[in-house]
């Protein structure tokens, strides 16, 4: 049995930020895309989602409490929040071990939704198999970086480039 792939699928400003300091994505929604910018094609390959609590809270606030990923396994890493609901399992255990166990279960692609702190751990632990980043033609100057400053290198191999009007989607495979 082959391991499931864990894919970071995320949008970023051209200068490498996934949100402003205030967690705003207004700059992203102002860009003229094309259709759904490819998300439904990717979403069909996914059956599990991983995200941090701040990302979860942002999504629930943005979606006005209506969980958008029904029908998928969703795990939210949180040190404090524990209340389960029908759509989400809150996880407060070793990220690396939990993820390795999940990757070894039968299933489809695992989507690492965000955010920045969680992604940093996933990159350091070499848990990410592919990165699909959609670049918005916007410079926001500061905010939450896509990748924090870390003291190692990760080599990538370009698999595909797609254009969705003003967005450029870059699909990379992590070189092991």
Q: pTM of this prediction?
A: 0.94
pLDDT at site 5: 97
Q: Which pLDDT belongs to residue 172?
A: 98
The 10s digit of each residue's pLDDT in 69-79 is 999 999 999 98
How much is the mean pLDDT over the chain?
Answer: 93
Question: Are 154 and 57 in contact, with CB atoms under 8 Å apart?
Answer: no
Backbone torsion region of residue 38, taken as left when φ is above 0, otherwise alpha when ψ lies between -120 and 50, otherwise beta: left
pLDDT of residue 149: 79
pLDDT recorded at residue 12: 97
Reported as a pLDDT band with limits 50, 70 and 90, residue 9 is very high
| The pLDDT value given to residue 30 | 94
**Rounded to an integer, what distance in angstroms lies between the CA atom of residue 16 and that of residue 14?**
5
Confidence of residue 4 (pLDDT cuts 50, 70, 90): very high
SS3 of 12, please? strand
Contact criterion met (CB below 8 Å) for 133 and 170:
yes
Q: pLDDT tens across 156-173, in order?
A: 999 999 999 999 999 999
The pLDDT assigned to 81 comes to 67
Q: What is the pLDDT of residues 81-108, one digit of tens each?
A: 667 788 999 999 999 999 999 999 999 9
Model confidence over 16-50: pLDDT tens digits?
Answer: 999 999 999 999 999 999 999 999 999 999 999 99
> CA 169 to CA 11: how far, in whole Å?
9
138 versus 82: the higher-pLDDT residue is 138
């Amino acid at each position: 049995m082959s391991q499931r792939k864990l894919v970071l699928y995320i949008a970023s400003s051209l200068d490498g930020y996934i949100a402003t300091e205030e967690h705003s994505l207004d700059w992203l929604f102002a860009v003229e895309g094309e259709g759904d910018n490819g998300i439904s094609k990717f979403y069909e390959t996914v059956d599990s989602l991983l995200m941090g609590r701040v990302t979860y809270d942002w999504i629930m606030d943005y979606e006005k409490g209506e969980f958008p990923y029904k029908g998928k396994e969703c795990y939210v890493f949180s040190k404090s929040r524990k209340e389960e609901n029908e759509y989400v399992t809150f996880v407060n255990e070793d990220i690396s071990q939990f993820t390795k166990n999940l990757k070894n279960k039968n299933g489809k692609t695992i989507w690492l939704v965000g955010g920045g702190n969680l992604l940093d751990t996933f990159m350091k632990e070499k848990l990410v198999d592919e990165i699909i980043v959609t670049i918005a033609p916007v410079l926001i100057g500061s905010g939450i970086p896509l990748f924090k400053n870390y003291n190692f290198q990760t080599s990538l191999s370009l698999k595909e480039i797609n254009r969705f009007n003003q967005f450029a989607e870059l699909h990379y495979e992590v070189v092991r």
